[in-house]
Copies of this chain bind each other. A is one copy, B any other.
Amino acid sequence: MVYRYPNGKPYRPSEGKQKRSPQYQRESFSNRGMTLEEDINETNKYYLENGIAVIHKKPTPIQIVDVHYPKRSAAVIKEAYFKQPSTTDFNGVYRGHYIDFEAKETKNKTSFPLKNIHPHQIQHLQRVKAQDGISFILIRFSLTEQIFLMNTDDLLVFWERMESGGRKSITRNEIEDCCHSISLGYHPRIDYLAVIDKIYFETRAER
C-alpha cells in the first residue's frame, strides 16, 4: 500500500516496513521487524519515563477537508489528505538544550541516497543550527541494522556537494568516517543521547 502526497509522490513512513531476512531476525537485539521510527519511539519513551529527556515524534500533518459531527459521538473526519511535513520528525528538550532530528532508513548497502531528505528539511535543520539547537539525522542501513548519527554540519557538506553537481548520495565509507555509530540496545533501543553526550557535553550524563 502506497500513500501518496497531493503531488503524487509516494509517502514512505520509513523504508523499513519490509520484512527482514530470517538471519537478521534471529540475531540478538535483532530488530524484530520494528521500523526505525518504532525503535526511536520506544527509545524516547524510555527517556521520558526515566526523566532523561522529553522528545516526541510530531504527528503526521493532515489536511482535513470534511468532518462530520454525529450526535452523541466523536467527530469523524470523512475526507483528508497527507501533507508533506515542513520540519523534521522528532524534537524536544535534553539537559536544557533543544534537540531536533530526522530519522531515515535505506535498503541500500553501499550508500545513503540524499533523496531521502527533503530540501525543506535541510532548511529547517539549518535554521535550528542558527538558533544553536542540537540537530542531526539518524540513518539506518536496514539490511545490516547499523545505525549512524550524522551531524547537520556533516550532512550539509554532502548536501552542498550534491547541489553543486556532485554525487546524489553519501557513501557508506563516508558515513563511517564522519558519523557516530550507535549500537542497538535493549533499553533504550537506540541510545542516541549517549552520542549527544559525547559530542556536546564531553561527559556522560548520570543515568
The reply to whether B60 and A93 contact each other, CB–CB distance below 8 Å, is: no
A157 close to chain B: CB less than 8 A: no
| Residues in B neighbouring A128, C-beta threshold 8 A | 54, 93
The reply to whether B81 and A78 contact each other, CB–CB distance below 8 Å, is: no
| Residues in B neighbouring A7, C-beta threshold 8 A | 74
In the assembled complex, how far is the CB of residue A35 from the closest CB belonging to chain B, in whole angstroms?
Answer: 16
Q: In the complex this chain forms, how many copies of it are found?
A: 2
A4's partner among B61, B69, B81, B133 (CB-CB below 8 A) is B69
In the assembled complex, how far is the CB of residue A50 from the closest CB belonging to chain B, in whole angstroms?
Answer: 11
A79's partner among B5, B61, B78, B124 (CB-CB below 8 A) is B78
A186 close to chain B: CB less than 8 A: no
The reply to whether B96 and A5 contact each other, CB–CB distance below 8 Å, is: yes
Task: Point out residues on A near B: beta carbons under 8 Å.
Answer: 1-8, 11, 48, 51, 53-54, 56, 58-62, 67, 69, 72-83, 86-87, 91-100, 124, 127-128, 130-133
Offer 5 A-B interface pairs, CB within 8 angstroms, sorted by A.
Answer: A4-B75, A8-B73, A58-B59, A80-B80, A98-B98
